Each structure stands twice: as structure tokens, then as C-alpha cells.
Amino acid sequence: MSVETWRNGNAQDVGSQCSKNKVHDVGITMLSETLYCYYIKVYDVEEVNLLGKPFPSSKDHSKWGVSMNVDKPAVCIGDVNRQVSQFNRGGGAVCIEDKKLWQAFHGSVAKYEKCGKT
């Protein structure tokens, strides 16, 4: 997922994150237990392009994410910055799978930070 959040000020940015090992998450239903394993890859957007105009993340206070996979066209809108100072703050996000919305957000990502930069 590529994410666009506030990355200015004195706060320490989280940076792009790509897990090298699978992360385990246990999903429990009333009748059985399911174990989900997945790799985490979250890329910080550095620049968006809107109507042919580049727009750096340093000038943007929005908080959204878009999947990198066309087969899972998810878009999330949130309310917390990806900075260490935000870890103790409440917040959340709402996500939707919609191909047309995904195309608009995914198509606006002009540049993102690769893993291992920070």
C-alpha cells in the first residue's frame, strides 16, 4: 500500500516499511480459528500528480492510502499521520474496494519512497 500523510515538522517519520518475515494475525470466528500470514509493505508517497501538476507530500496534510495491487483495488482514508509521535493517539481509517476510485488514487501517485531508505 502507498500512503500519503503529513511528513513535516519536528516529528520522526515512520518511513516506508517492508517486512522481511511473515506477520501472523489470528482471526477467530465462533466455530473455528483461522491464522492469517502476510508480508507488510507500506510505502510513503513522496509526490502526487494531480491534473498534470506535481504536488509534494511536504505540502499535503491529507491522510490516505491506496493498494499497489490491481487485483485488490483498495483505497483507505484516515485521520492519523505516520509519525512516531502519533503512536499514542487514537485514530482510524475507513477502506473501500472500488476499481474506479482505486484508479484515481493509484494513478495520482507519482513517486514513493522505496523500503530501506530510512
Tell me the one-letter amino acid at 74.
Answer: A
Q: Quick check: is 106 catalytic?
A: no
Catalytic residue among 22, 61, 72, 99: 61
Q: What angle do CA 16, 73, 102 make, to 5 degrees?
A: 85
Q: Are 41 and 17 in contact (CB under 8 A)?
A: yes
Catalytic residues: 61
